Amino acid sequence: MDENVALAPEGLREALGVPFHNLDAKAIAEGSAAFNTIKDWFDA
């Protein structure tokens, strides 16, 4: 457990240093569209 806690900041720094991937952007856009659809169902 302590080892994971120690590695977390290092992994976060690595992740922040990686350019945003096109597939990530696509997945976020699809997820956002799905969320909006579900929200519309609830609002109807």
**Where are the chain's structural domains?**
2-43
CA distances from 27 to 11, 33, 34 (A): 22, 10, 11
Task: Pull the structure tokens for residue 22.
Answer: 């096109």
Looking at residue 12, what is its pLDDT? 67
- Give per-residue pLDDT as tens, 1-43: 577 667 677 666 666 666 666 677 788 888 888 888 999 999 9
- Categorise residue 19: left if φ over 0, alpha if ψ from -120 to 50, beta otherwise: beta
Looking at residue 24, what is its pLDDT? 76
Q: pTM of the predicted model, to two decimals?
A: 0.43
What is the end-to-end Cα distance of the chain in Å, rounded? 46
